Amino acid sequence: MMPWWKQTWIVARHELSDAVRSRRAAVMMVLYVAGAVTSINGFINVLQKLELQIAQTLGVEALSSAGAVTDTLWKSRPFRNMLMSLVGDRSVAMDLLSIPPIALIYGWVAFTFVPMLVMLVTPARVAEEIGSGAVRFVVPRCTRSAWCAGKVAGQSALVILALILSVAGAWTVARLRLPGMDGWAVAQAMMMLAGKTWIYAFAFVGLAVGIAQFHRSPNQATALGFIAWMVLGIVGIMCHFYAGPGIRQIWLVIELIIPQGHRMDLWRMDGAYLLSGCAFLASLGMCYAAVGYAYFSRRDV
């Protein structure tokens, strides 16, 4: 039998090619691009409607190009102080202020909605292969662990492709509607945030594959994946508000085992925080998938 890594590569390659050809993957791509384009376009519309008011409030000159006053606001000391109080961490606030506003909007949308799309698409892709019996023709040629790892790798590659397309769409709209923006700086920032979004989404890909291995029904797997995404979001909010000294330290432990607990590390520019967040999220994704594999390795397919 061929080496494990080669089995994983073949499964991942077929998973990506099959996903790209499927209608569900096409819908996923459209949703990624449409979400990014709509958000950026909506943000620019808001800028056009509010810039005159902002200019009058701050006493700065309103320019004809949308985003000009926003750039001035972004660099003003009062706004920086306000952002620091909202974030609660000066270093994080300064990192956010180093990102072009239009790219920051793209990043916020991607971090918020990409995990949801992953949990709506990935579980069904894996569960339908188990439910249809197609996996029976695969596992005699490779180990079940390689099949599971290949599914995670293939779905992760699909997310990369979708994010690249979303960056292209969002940047194009911003470039057409904001002629005065620094196109290269915004493109770099968007690609950086897309990369960080992919790392964050990897944990959810692992979770989705883990959930799918418990089910033969794509609909059940999708429903449970969506519920898991919502539950993790609620738990993440509870960890943020309830963590503290004494018995409340249990929320700090819970925060370590959910993706939301490491999201803020990815927004930092400090390499130590970034590497820590990446390591935790990669480990969580593999652990989530491994839990499903522990069941799938013993089930009758």
**How many angstroms separate the CA atoms of 287 and 291, rounded?**
6
State the first-to-last Cα distance of the chain, in angstroms, to the nearest integer: 20
pLDDT score for 298: 86
pLDDT in tens, 220-244: 999 999 999 999 999 999 988 888 7
pLDDT at 135 over 80: yes
d(CA 71, CA 59) in angstroms, rounded, equals 14
Of 124, 188, 192, 114, whose CA–CA distance to 156 is shortest? 114
Rounded to whole angstroms, the Cα distance separating 138 from 7 reads 10
Q: What is the pLDDT of residues 151-176, one digit of tens each?
A: 999 999 999 999 999 999 999 998 88
Query: What mean pLDDT is reported for the chain?
Result: 85
Quote the CA–CA distance of 277 and 294 in Å, as a whole number: 25
Give the separation between CA 65 and CA 82, rounded to whole angstroms. 25
Contact criterion met (CB below 8 Å) for 210 and 296 = no
Q: Cα(102)–Cα(258) distance, rounded to whole angstroms?
A: 28
Lowest mean pLDDT among 26-40, 149-163, 199-213: 26-40
Q: What per-residue confidence (pLDDT) applies to 66? A: 58
Coil/strand/helix, residue 116: helix
CA 53 to the chain's CA centroid: 34
pLDDT, average across residues 113-135:
88
Question: Counting beta carbons within 10 angstroms of the beta carbon of residue 22, is it exposed (0 to 12), middle (13 to 18) or buried (19 or more)?
Answer: middle
Question: What's residue 74's pLDDT?
Answer: 63
Q: Is the pLDDT of residue 96 over 80?
A: no
Percent of residues, the chain, with pLDDT higher than 90: 41
> What is the pLDDT confidence band of residue 198, given thresholds at 50, 70 and 90?
very high
